[in-house]
Amino acid sequence: MRFGKTLRNSIYPPWSGNYIDYHRLKALLREHDVTGDGSDSETTPWTEQDEEAFVEELINVQLDKVNAFQMETLQQLRERTSACETRLRPLTTTADDETPAIVNGEEKKTVASGVLEELDSITREVTELEKYSRINFTGFLKAAKKHDRKRGTRYRVKPLLQVRLSQLPFNSEDYSPLVRRLSVMYSFAREILSQGVVEIKDPAESRFGQGAYSSFKFWVHADNVLEVKTYILRQLPVLIYNPGTSKDLTTVPDDPTITSLYFDNPQFDLYTQKVARAPEAGSLRLRWTGNLQDKPAIFLEKKVVTDDDRSREVKVQLKQKHVKEFLDGEYRFDKKVHRMENMGNGESEHAESFKKDVEELQSFIKEHNLQPMLRANYTRMAFQIPGDDRIRISLDTNLALIREDSLEELRPCREANEWHRGDIDDANMEYPFSRIRTGEIARFPHALLEIKLRGSTAHNAEWIKDLMVSHLVKEAPRFSKFVHGVAQLFEDYVNSFPFWLGELESDIRRDPETAFHEEQERLAKRAEEEMAVGSFLGGKSPAARPLVGSPVHKFTDVESSSRGRQSPQVAHAQPSQRPSAPEVAPRPERDEPIQEVEEGEQAEQPVTLKRLAALFPSFPLSRANRADEAALPPGVREPGTWIKDSGPVRVETKVWLANQRTFIKWLHISILLSSLSLGLYNAAGKDNDVARALSIVYTCFAIFAAAWGWYMHEKRARLIRQRSGRDLDNTFGPIVVCIGLAVALVLNFAFKYNSTVERIRERDSLANPPTLNSTGFANQAHPWQLVNQGGQAL
C-alpha cells in the first residue's frame, strides 16, 4: 500500500487539518517528471527556486505545524489530567483531620463517574496522539527519501531533516508518566464507585494467593504498546513497586528495570530440555530490580515444569556479597537456619524446609555444572488490583538479551571468577547498551505481554478475551526469554531452535477487521468440531466443562458457538442487570410440547438430528437448529437492531468475488454437460434410442445447473446487501446434479449391457443352427428355419 493511502486511513477526524500535507509535498517535488536535470524536453528543469520551495515547505512549514500541534495537544491533555486530579482531591482524606472534604456517598460517586468519563476521553486521545506522532514522523522520512531518490544528484535533504527532527520532541515524547497518572486516578475512581457494592463470586474461589494460574503470552508491536497500556489501565491499575509515593497523584515512580541472569552448562543441557519440553525440565536464574550498585535484593530461582504442565518453584534471597559463595557451595545460610531453629513457634519446620531448598539449589548447580550464560534486561509495567491477584498482567519492553558466558578463553564475555559482567553493572549501562560488542547482544523487536488468570471469574472476563483476540497482540505460546536468547546468541553451540524464530522478522501488525474475521472463522470451526465430538458421546457434549486446551479462550461450547456467530452483535441490557461474567443460562423448561409425537419417535428423533448435524455440519437442518442452542443470560434481551446493521453497508471485495466465482463454476458445469449432451446426440444413430434419450437428460441437467447457479448468485447477493445473518450455503443443487448424473450413468450402463447381451445371443444362434429331435421338430428353432427344413424332414 502506498504511503498516501496509509496516511489517509490513519487520520483521526477531529485532527484532520493538522497532519502533514503529503500531497502538497509531492506536488512541489514534481514526482511525475521523468527526470529533474532538464535532459527530457517535456519536463521543466529542477532549479534552486524549486529546491528552496520544497525545503521551506518540508522543514519550516509542515514540520513546525505538526510539532506545534503535538505539543499543544499534549499540554492540553496534561491540563485535563490535572483538572481530573483536582476534582478527585476533595474525595481523599485531608492532611489535618483525615476526613474527606466530600462525605456524601452519592455525591462522591457522581464526581467519580464524571471523572471516569473524562479519563476515558483523555486515554483515547493519548493513544491517538501517539499514532499521530508516529504517522507524521514516517511521512517526513518518506518525503525526504522520495526527494533524495529523485533529486539526489545535486541536492540531499534527509541529513538536514534528521538534524531538525532531533531538535523537536514530537516523535520522542514519552507518554508513560502521563499513563501512570491516569492509572492512579482510574484505580481511585473505581474504588469510590465500588464502595457499597457486594461482589458475588464463587465461595470456593480464593481471592488472593491460592490456586494455579493459567498463563498466556503475546508479542506486541512497538506501534501498539501505548494502545495496549491504555486499554488495560481502564480495567486494572498499574502496580506501583514503591508505594511510598502513591499518595501523591502527580509523582509516580518510573517502571522498574529487571535483570535476569540465566544459568546453563557449556553443553546447554537445560536449554535443550526446555526446547524439547522434556519432563521435569528445569531452569535457574538470578533476578534483581534496578542497578546492582544500589544493592537490591537478589533472588535465586529454580523452576521445574512437571508432567502435568504445571510448574514448581524453589527460591531463596541472597545478598550481593554472598552470591558467589552460594554458587560455589560455600555459603549455606547457617546463621539464618540456626536463628530460625531457636525461635520456636513453628519456625523449626520452616527451617527444615529452608534447608531443603538450599540443598536442592546447590546440588542442582553442582550436578549440572551450571554457570551464568545469558542476561535478560527489560523494563516491566505490571497491572493488578491491590489485594486481588486473580488477574495479573505484565508488559515487558526494551528487552535486551546479552551474552554472560566465559566459553571463549581468549575473549570471554564475563570473567571466569565472577558471577556477572562487571563492565555492564559497574558502569550502570542502560538500554540500548550501545557499548556492548556486536554479536554479544540481541535486542528483541517487540514488547512481551503476559496475562495470568486464576479462577473462573478471571477466565470469563470479556475484556480479557477481547484483548487476547484483538489485532493489538500476537499469540506467542511457550515463549521464553532464556530460550530465545540462547537460540540467537549461541546458535553455533546448539542444534535445536524454538518454533517462533521463523516469525521474528515478519510484521505482526494486523488490520482490525481482518483480525476480527479470522477469529470468527476460528470460533465457528471450533464450534462445529466440538458439536461433532459431542454427538459421538451419546449427546453429552464436551461443553459441560471449560475448554482448557485453547491458548486463547476458556468458555463452554455453547458460548463459543454463540460468540462465533454473534460476536459483532451486542445484546442490550441494563447496567445493573448485566452479569459480572458471561455464563450460559439454563434452558427454560417447556410446559407443553410444541407438537405431539409418538412414544418411540420421541426418543429417537433428537439423537438422529444431532448425529445428522454432526456428520453434515453444512446441511441446512443442522444450521437451522444451531441458532437456538445458546440462551441469553438473565436480564439480557434480544436487540432490535444489531450493531453490524447500524452503519453503511461495507462489503469486502473478496465476498462479492467469491459469489461471482461460484456462479462462474456453475456455468462451467452447465457448459460441460451441454457439450456432452450435444456430442452424444450427434454421435447416436437413428436406431440408438438410449443414447438420444440420455443426451436429452444431460441437457436437462445442464439447464438446471445454469438456472440454479443464477438463482443462488442473486439470492446470496441479496443476503449480502441486507447484511443477513442467514447461511449462504445450500446443498440442494449440488446433491440434485450429483445424484441425477449418477443415476443417468447407471442407467446408461444397464441399457448398454442389455443391448450387448442381446447381440451376443443373436450371433450365437446364427453360428449354431438348430437340429431335429426325435419328434421331427427343431430344437429351439425360429419359424423360418422350420419352413426351410420341413420338406427334407418329411
Mean pLDDT of the chain: 76
Q: What is the pLDDT of residue 630?
A: 56
What are the angstrom distances between the C-alpha of 231 and each of 127, 394, 496, 499, 514? 9, 13, 37, 29, 20
More confident site: 299 or 576 = 299
pLDDT tens, position by position, 314-367 = 999 999 999 999 999 888 888 888 888 777 666 677 888 888 899 999 999 999
Predicted confidence (pLDDT) per residue in 110-132, tens digit? 888 888 888 889 988 888 888 88
Percent of the chain that is helix, strand, coil (3-state, to 5)? 50, 10, 35
**Nearest-angstrom CA–CA distance, 354 and 343:** 14
Domain positions in the chain are 3-193, 214-331+369-510, 513-571+606-645, 663-763
- How distant, in Å, are the alpha carbons of 504, 669, 703, 713 from that of 707? 50, 12, 6, 10
Residues 156, 148: contact at Cβ < 8 Å?
yes
Asked whether residue 563 carries a pLDDT value surpassing 70, the answer given is: no
Q: State phi, psi for 203 to the nearest 5 degrees.
A: -65, -25
Q: How many CB atoms lie under 10 A from the CB of residue 356? A: 11
CB of 557 closer than 8 Å to CB of 542: yes
pTM: 0.53
User: Per residue, what are the HEC states of 713-778?
Assistant: HHHHHHHHHCCCCCCCCCCHHHHHHHHHHHHHHHHHHHHHHHHHHHHHHHHHHHHCCCCECCCCCE
Tell me: pLDDT of 585 over 70: no
CB 302 within 8 A of CB 358: no
pLDDT at 433 over 50: yes
Share of the chain above pLDDT 70, in %: 72
Which segments of 307-387 are extended strands (E)? 311-318, 371-385
In this structure, what C-alpha cell is assigned to residue 755? 443391448
**Minimal CA–CA distance to 106: which of 92, 117, 121, 91?**
91
pLDDT at 598 over 50: no
At residue 725, the pLDDT reads 66
Counting Cβ atoms within 10 Å, is residue 255 exposed (0-12), middle (13-18) or buried (19+)? Answer: buried
Q: What percent of the chain shows pLDDT beyond 90? A: 18
Predicted confidence band at 710 (pLDDT cuts at 50, 70, 90)?
very high
Split at pLDDT 50, 70, 90, the class of 251 is low
Secondary structure of residue 218 in the 3-state scheme? strand
- Fold (topology level) of 214-331+369-510: mRNA Triphosphatase Cet1; Chain A (3.20.100)
Can you read off the three cell numbers belonging to residue 288? Answer: 534483581
SS3 (DSSP) at 438:
coil
